[in-house]
Structure 1
């Protein structure tokens, strides 16, 4: 059994090393994505014109973006900072051809107080200028290896392997025998700083993995949740916890419908209807509505959703999302409510911890996530170094005719 786990940890670790280095570095940067984006490209950040200035309504921003990009329609809002409004645009249908306009609509960034355009970029590419592209590329690299759908498949496989490897690595730190268990296991938690370079690397790899094992596992399994292309996360969670099937959650508002032209509710009517439905949900749930965060046009389903911040405590999502018909305004569904399903609560925690969202969206936790990303890089580098040194030693013993295996305890993290 131990030989099997040594093999898994050795070769799975080697296969993942480069990718985990990429994910660790980019994840550390993304912990402060909004701040770094503003620092690198300040032209995309607006200054509040006066202390009492009123932010434009979401419907006004959507109308403004469509006026600036007449061949596109506003789809949804990104929410990174309060001093910019980032609107994802989708191409309109050309009445002459019946097909979408060929332009890559992309995203447009507006001043949230005046509606002035701050910048735009095609969705399939980046803006002009190297510095302005750094954080968009970092995000692309982290979420898809900058390889589109192929990168998503690769990351899905790696996330599953990383989760498995967490258990293999932990098992290999355990003593071979139960005799004097704690005394034998204690050195695995320590770093012998006065040892040689190899010893320090070995101890750093093993001890860091133990001390941070819970968070490493959380980030590995939440990675499966975020990029799962195989349905593994949903199947495992359904087997272990009480989970409402995804089909039940999206029934009634996610199915494609026939395109019959523009929806009857325009942006202002949709915003008013969204407010009304959100207020009904708040009254029924006994919570207060705070600031509106998003208004999304799901044209393929002829549906809108309205997103508003609430004062609800976790695990209920701080943001309430109501879905309603884009033609008659009829209520379809509400998401982000506390359902009582343990699997959904756990999934909410996994997403929150991985993405530094409510209830852990605080500077100390973001710093921790940044440091954890760098530790993932260190674990990958030290793991490869330990493997290389042991491989070199095995080859040297082979040339000398010494076929004796290394002690099992020293193969623990090879």
Structure 2
């Protein structure tokens, strides 16, 4: 195959370029599969037990946050059984005309009593162990480098997605089997390809390293592709993922449907609590019309750049084990419903994205899949390290 040496070089050097990034995301991803358990161990004061209690409604939790942090305004609320997370921004000091100086942007609140559990500048490791797991999350998402890191990992994810197909092609025998050939040709093809799936443990260290790289990539190839493409969604959503999905399926997101306002909306006519009431009513109407059931409110957040609220619940349309992504979008000035988005059964592109994210976040199929995702992170590290070793050996031979 005259193109094979070219793709070998492409695979070798793209893998080399991605190696450090994939080692970081692999190691951090292994930890994030057990984010809540690890943070509970490090910061038990930030979590409570449900004990069959019913959580306060979103409006009561917003009022609690406003009472606890009068110098902050609530931007978003997310309700979990073990903690309510409130994102805040500084209010303006009427005496100075400047925003208050806050050393936190997140409040954690007992979802059953409304009392404070803690506050932190989310992800700032300088604040100590209270931000250990958020910092690991930021490393995984953007190398803790904000937009620069997000672009770096986004480009890595896109290259990784394409390289998944190159790597798969390179595992195939040089002489490919064509569907029009007879059964004996197919059997011969599978016998040759079968070697790529195994590791010859008794061979030299160089051969074992090569086999681990080739066979390890084949063993989890489909899942690697899922994680690579879902990473494109998280880091290059607007520039790549959304365009691709919209070109092949019906796919909608609030940040792609509506243009930015000329100026960010500082004082919406509908406040957050009123938006919760309107969102609850709109979701009840949608459930009756679309035939899904509402299980619990999950949260609400304000997009000031585009001027809308997103009210979220968990419903029978969700695919995740917990939390939820059933959303209604409301105009922040008029309260008008702008969009209803179900995680499954509405738009094919959104259903596929819901599954991609549930798989990536280890939020489906229970504990066995979370253990698998933890191990997958280590496999990604192994593939990166063995790839670098292969490159190093080839370089010495030149």
- Note whether the superposition's TM-score is higher than 0.5: yes
The alpha-carbon deviation at position 299 of structure 1 amounts to 4.6
- Which residue of 2 is the match for residue 158 of structure 1? 156
Contact preservation (8 Å) 1:265, 1:329:
no
Structure 2 residue aligned with 1:242:
249
Q: Is contact 2:120-2:130 (8 Å) kept?
A: no
Contact kept? 2:245, 2:251, Cα under 8 Å: no
Matched, 1:282 2:287: yes
1:378 corresponds to which residue?
A: 382
Alignment correspondent of 1:140 = 138
What TM-score do the two structures reach when normalised by structure 1? 0.84
CA offset at residue 318 of structure 1? Answer: 5.0
Residues 110 and 246 from structure 1, CA distance in 2 versus in 1: closer, same or farther, beyond 3 angstroms? closer
Tell me, in whole angstroms, the C-alpha distance in 2 between the residues paired with 1:223 and 1:234: 13
Distance of 1:248 and 1:123 partners within structure 2? 23
**Deviates most, 116-125 or 142-151:** 116-125
Name the SS for the 1:188 alignment partner.
helix
> How far apart are 1:350 and its partner, in Å?
1.8
Q: For residue 19 of structure 1, report the CA deviation from its aligned partner.
A: 1.0
What TM-score does the superposition give when structure 2 sets the normalisation length? 0.87
Corresponding residue for residue 195 of structure 1:
203
Please list every run of 5 or more consecutive structure 1 residues that lacks an aligned counterpart in the other structure.
396-414
Q: Which residue of 1 aligns with 2:336?
A: 330
Kindly state the Cα deviation for residue 221 of structure 1 after the two structures are TM-superposed.
Answer: 1.3
Of 386, 393, 396 in structure 2, the residue corresponding to residue 389 of structure 1 is 393
Displacement of 1:8: 0.7
Q: Distance in 2 between matches of 1:278 and 1:247?
A: 16
Name the residue aligned to 2:11: 9
Spell out the pairing of 1:176-325 with structure 2 (5 A cutoff). 176-178=174-176, 180-228=188-236, 231-239=239-247, 241-244=248-251, 250-251=257-258, 255=261, 259=265, 261=267, 263-265=269-271, 267=273, 269-301=274-306, 303-312=308-317, 314=319, 319-325=325-331
Q: Secondary structure at the match of 2:117?
A: strand
Q: Secondary structure at the match of 2:127?
A: coil
- Give the 4+ runs in structure 1 shifted more than 6 A: none
- Cα shift at 1:275: 1.6
Match of 1:34 among 21, 27, 36: 36
RMSD of equivalent CA atoms: 2.7
Q: Could you say which structure has the larger radius of gyration?
A: 1
Q: Within 5 Å, give how 1:4-153 maps onto structure 2.
A: 4-48=6-50, 51=51, 53-78=53-78, 81-96=80-95, 98-123=97-122, 125-126=124-125, 128-129=127-128, 131-153=129-151
Q: Give per-residue Cα distances to partners, 1:228-286, cap 9 Å, x unaligned.
A: 167222333344x123465796338x64667574645462x333322211111111011
Aligned-partner Cα distance in 1 for 2:118–2:61: 14
For residues 53 and 97 of structure 2, what CA distance do their matches in structure 1 show? Answer: 42
1:167 corresponding residue in structure 2: 165
Shift in CA distance, 133/261, structure 1 to aligned 2, threshold 3 Å:
closer
Provide closer, same or farther for how the CA distance between residues 325 and 218 of structure 1 changes in structure 2, counting only shifts above 3 A.
closer
Q: How far apart in 1 are the matches of 2:327 and 2:243?
A: 25
Flag structure 2 segments of 5+ consecutive residues without an equivalent: 177-184
Mean Cα deviation higher: 367-376 or 173-182: 173-182
CA shift for structure 1 position 123: 4.0
Q: Deviations over 1:343-364 (max 9, x none)?
A: 333222222221223xx25111
Kept in 2: contact 1:110–1:118 (CA 8 A): yes
Deviation of 1:341 after TM superposition, in Å, equals: 3.8
Q: Using a 3 Å threshold, how does the CA distance of structure 1 residues 199 and 73 change in structure 2: closer, same or farther?
A: same
Task: Give the paired residue count.
Answer: 384
SS of 1:101's equivalent in the other structure is: coil
Is the Cα–Cα contact under 8 Å of residues 330 and 339 in structure 2 kept in the other structure? yes
SS at match of 1:177: coil
